[in-house]
Every structure is written in structure tokens, then in C-alpha cells.
Amino acid sequence: MYDLIIIGGGPAGLTAATYARRAGKSVLVIEKNAFGGQITWSPRVENFPGFVSISGVELGDKLLEQAMEQGAEAELEEVTAIERGAEGFAVRCESGAVFEARALILATGAKPRMLGVEREEELVGSGVGYCAVCDGAFYKGKPVAVCGGGNSALQDALLLSESCSQVWLIHRRSSFRGEQKLVEALEKKENVRFVLDARVTALLGEEELSGLVLEQNGASKELTVEGLFVAIGHQPDLGAFVDFLKLDPAGYAASGEDCLSPTPGLFVAGDCRAKHVRQLTTAAADGAVAALAACDYLDRL
Ligand code: NAP
């Protein structure tokens, strides 16, 4: 039995692992996709303290290396359920593996929000994508669209403008929510066009995406694109843990300042936690707070 299992290997989970190991606890981090989490989708991170500029993949690797260096263990598994026992928690994985710990930190982050347009799911991988860093190279020399107005959409549009023939940045408002510096960089790109006050209402193409129908200021218009990158934020994925948590109306896990959930010994950290600011820095901060609170809980058992 481990002292602490951390579910989710993004910045929150890996920071928690480093802190708990340095407090002398045995730690297992379980991640279902890629260690580093959502940040591995960011081409360039320029707002994490200590790094003027670093790719998300490299930052994720460094966070993992740091936790491993401190002696944390790691497993690539998908957690399907947790159970409360007399001595702590059992963590059940899709492979059939079961791990046990006296305390848990949920740092499961959030998954991309879908547009909700008809045929969106059907065209995923055939023109519709949620990760420009992962899939952008497939659209070299082709026209694409990015939908969204936050930093993710702005960064995706910048990245795609380096290789795609044309990038349409579609946003439902007249101004962007993301950083002005990124907007200015996009304004200087000749192959980037903003389509503001617009919504995607339909996806065109049979087996592959060939275009979009937009509604802009009450009028309908078509755009010819081969790729659509949806970057309209994220939503938490806490379905496997709902019996142990209190969720806010948007589905995020409520907790105290110490990241403790309503279940003793179960802590939440990072983007899956109900809070106002979701940034790399606040995810890392949550990881530290949750780990120290979990260590305090373990010491008092
Ligand atoms: P976000 O900031 O929540 O922005 C989501 C955008 O999508 C908003 O502009 C929103 O429009 C739009 N949107 C939401 N639902 C929509 C819908 N159904 N249809 C059309 N548009 C919709 O999400 P994000 O860009 O993924 O960023 C998440 C957080 O990560 C932010 O705090 C961001 O600063 C941070 N981030 C940081 C970095 C970095 O540090 N390098 C990189 C990427 C992201 P409205 O504006 O109208 O609400």
C-alpha cells in the first residue's frame, strides 16, 4: 500500500508527487495518456516562472523527471473507479490492475470542450481536431480554421499559420479573451484572417471535412477548409469519482483552501478543482498545497 496515489500526471499531479516525496511519503502517479497533461499541447509556454520560453512537451518532461528524481513511481493506466476501505482507498484501472493508498489526490485536469455541432464527433480525425500541436502537421499547405477566443485558440492559430496556406480564426465575440500580445502577433500574419461575431453552424464534407457553414451577424456563409481545430476551453472529467466529491454546476470538484474534498483523505488539485484561475502556475500551486495537506493528513492517521 502506498502512502499517496496521485491520479493525473499533469503539472498539478507531478508537482504534488515531488512535494510528497520530499516529505518522505511513498507516491504513485497514475496517468492515462501522456505525462505532462494538457501542457504537452502547448507549442510554447512563456508564462511559467523561471522559463523565458519552453515547449509544453519539454516542460512536461522536466516535471516528470523532477518527480522521478525524487523517487515517485509512475504507471500509465486508466483509472475507472475508486473505493474506500478500512485503511484507505483502492484504485481500480481498466487493465484490471488495482493499487492501494492511504490517501489520494485527484489531479485529472480537464478534457477539450466540443462545439456541439452536428457530425462533429463523426469527423474527429477526418478534419476535426482539438490539438493543433499534435495534428497541425497533417494540414501543411492547406486552409484550416481555428474556433475559439482564448489563449489556446490564439496559440493554435499562430502555430498553424507557420505551415498552413490560410488560417481562419473564428470567434463568437468581437474581441478575444486571450492575451493582447498573441492577438498582435496574429494581426501581423498575412495568412491569418479573423472571423468575429461568428459561430460554426454546420460541417461540410462526406468522409473528410471540406468546409464550414458559419453564421455571422445574422447571415450565413461558407468557408472552404480542410481542418477545423476546436479550442473553446476544457471541461473536467470526474465521472469515475462523483460518489466521493461535491461538484459545482460546471462539474468541477469543490474543495477547501487545503484542496481537501468532502471525503477524508481525498484531495483535488489543478484544473479539475473548482476555482477562478486555471493556469499552469495555479495547477502547480494546487499540487504543492494538496500534497502538503495530504502529508499532514497521513501524519495524523
Ligand atoms: P478559455 O480561456 O476558457 O477560452 C475559451 C474560448 O472559447 C473563449 O473565447 C470562449 O468564448 C470560447 N467558447 C467557449 N465555448 C464556446 C462555444 N460553445 N462556441 C464557441 N466558442 C466558445 O480556454 P483556453 O483558451 O483553452 O484556455 C484555458 C486556460 O488555459 C486559460 O486560462 C488560458 O489563459 C490558459 N492557457 C495558457 C497557455 C499558456 O500559458 N501558454 C496556453 C493556452 C491556454 P467567450 O470568450 O465568448 O467566452
Kindly list the domain boundaries of the chain, sorted by start residue: 2-112+234-299, 128-230
Q: Which residue has the cell 445574422?
A: 218
Burial-class residue 71 by CB neighbours within 10 Å (0-12, 13-18, 19+): middle
Q: Is 235 in the pocket of ligand 1 (CB under 6 A)?
A: no
* CB of 247 closer than 8 Å to CB of 273: no
pLDDT at 43 over 90: no
Enter the pTM of the model.
0.80
Strands 192-195 and 166-170: parallel
Burial-class residue 161 by CB neighbours within 10 Å (0-12, 13-18, 19+): buried
pLDDT tens sequence across 124-176: 989 999 989 878 999 999 999 999 999 999 999 999 999 999 999 999 999 99
Ligand 1, residue 115: give the atom nearest the CA. 18
The CA–CA distances, whole Å, from 263 to 13, 91, 200, 294 equal: 19, 15, 42, 12
Residue 87 is classified by DSSP as S
- Nearest-CA residue for ligand 1 atom 4 is 150
**Host H or E run for residue 160:** helix 151-161
CA–CA dist 128, 118 (Å, integer): 12
Instruction: Determine the residue type at 299.
Output: D
CA–CA dist 271, 235 (Å, integer): 9
* CB of 145 closer than 8 Å to CB of 212: yes
Ligand 1, residue 45: give the atom nearest the CA. 41
* 2-112+234-299 and 128-230: identical CATH topology: yes
- Per-residue pLDDT, 268: 98
Longest dimension (CA), the chain: 64
pLDDT band (50, 70, 90) for residue 71: very high
Tell me which of 31-35, 37-41, 227-231 is least confident.
37-41
Instruction: Determine the residue type at 11.
Output: P
- Per-residue pLDDT, 58: 96
Residue 241 is classified by DSSP as G
CA–CA dist 121, 189 (Å, integer): 31
pLDDT tens sequence across 231-279: 999 899 899 999 999 999 989 999 999 999 999 999 999 999 999 888 8
Q: Whose CA is closest to 203, among 278, 288, 111, 128?
A: 128
CATH 3.40.50.970 fits 128-230, yes or no: no
| Fold of the domain built from segment(s) 2-112+234-299 | FAD/NAD(P)-binding domain (3.50.50)
93 carries an active-site annotation: no
What average pLDDT does the chain have?
Answer: 96
- Per-residue pLDDT, 279: 86
pLDDT at 80 over 90: yes
Q: Is 47 in the pocket of ligand 1 (CB under 6 A)?
A: yes
Q: What is the dihedral of CA 65, 70, 72, 76, to 10 degrees?
A: 0
Q: Is 173 in the pocket of ligand 1 (CB under 6 A)?
A: yes
